[in-house]
Structure 1
């Protein structure tokens, strides 16, 4: 599935998963219809992430969903992920493309129109734009207060590649992000911390599809 077709995107973070393991949360989220899963887990060792990545590769493959690895190009290659998501201080997009191949999906975190334009010119396949609303779970610029949906609208108008909103998004505000021009939304706590991650993922998808 190509990034333009992604509607809901789960970013893993076990310490925000209400005591549940990441594998269990991902399995439930996939059952609820998420299109892509990003292996984040920055507090784990590379070996632990590798082992988890192997299992998530099996789960996402069975569900025909994309597996994206946060930051680590080498780990993305090691677990045969569909691609990598890079931040503004990570290795350049061109390096990821050289290491993973032309068929790999390369995403980039942005929070301004200029960053978005640079990422698109460098060959990014999609943008993770945020934090849209205030959030404590993602280390991005403006994470405390959020950049707002107006910025989503500006960036979506400035680039041709898909825009995925991230940061403080849940079923109550996801529709506004889509209406502003995002093609999908990425979440952590809205699914991982939910009492029923599968139901939360399903409800989020319904909101996004209805707003599209």
Structure 2
């Protein structure tokens, strides 16, 4: 099984915020800029549209050696032989997902509290999403921002790999880094950039301290 550990930026798709570009174009730009961990997340498309995009993205990521994670849809992740599946608190429990996808697929679980983090570890998740750190409009069904306090808890109390997520932008990413987050998810800050390569380079300069 591969791991998210070692990835600095966790890229997530969002076609509606991509300045008219499709996900394939955006993901190719991410890969060309050195992103090694990408999640396909689309809420509004039909399953057939998602399937067709993921076919192309699975080939792109496989050719580049990039970890490819699919959000929510266990069956789609299995059909694509994705590297991972990411689920939320209202999705199927992690042990059930594990029975379906087997031992070789990464399972990520979104968490919003210390209790959920502890339960995720107990359930056998391979990594957790920690957030939303800040207020975000990218997801329509998102819970309230949990702030940096929950991030502090995970850094000090949990050993599981995690990705900090939610409202993270160029102006606040250094605050997240300084709290101990090694893998940080960005959505609109990357997909909505005029020049994705330059934006990623700028973010990496911030992360380098």
TM-score, normalised relative to structure 1: 0.93
CA distance in 1, matches of 2:204, 2:163: 13
CA distance in 2, matches of 1:55, 1:40: 15
Matched, 1:61 2:62: yes
CA distance in 2, matches of 1:181, 1:56: 31
Q: Could you tell me how far 1:101 is from its partner in structure 2? A: 1.1
Please state whether the residue corresponding to 1:5 is helix, strand or coil: coil
Q: Which residue of 1 aligns with 2:75?
A: 74
Contact kept in structure 2, 1:162 and 1:182, CA below 8 Å: no
Segments of structure 2 that go 5 or more residues without pairing to the other structure are: none
Q: Which residue of 2 aligns with 1:152?
A: 151
CA distance in 2, matches of 1:95, 1:43: 25
Q: Deviations over 1:122-166 (max 9, x none)?
A: 011111111111110023221xxx222222011222211112111
Please state whether the residue corresponding to 1:69 is helix, strand or coil: strand
Q: Which residue of 1 aligns with 2:52?
A: 51
Please state whether the residue corresponding to 1:3 is helix, strand or coil: coil
Segments of structure 1 that go 5 or more residues without pairing to the other structure are: none
Q: Which residue of 2 aligns with 1:28?
A: 29
Higher deviation after alignment, 181-190 or 171-180: 171-180
Matched, 1:170 2:169: yes
Q: How do residues 79-118 of structure 1 correspond to structure 2 at under 5 angstroms?
A: 79-118=80-119
Q: Which residue of 1 aligns with 2:142?
A: 140
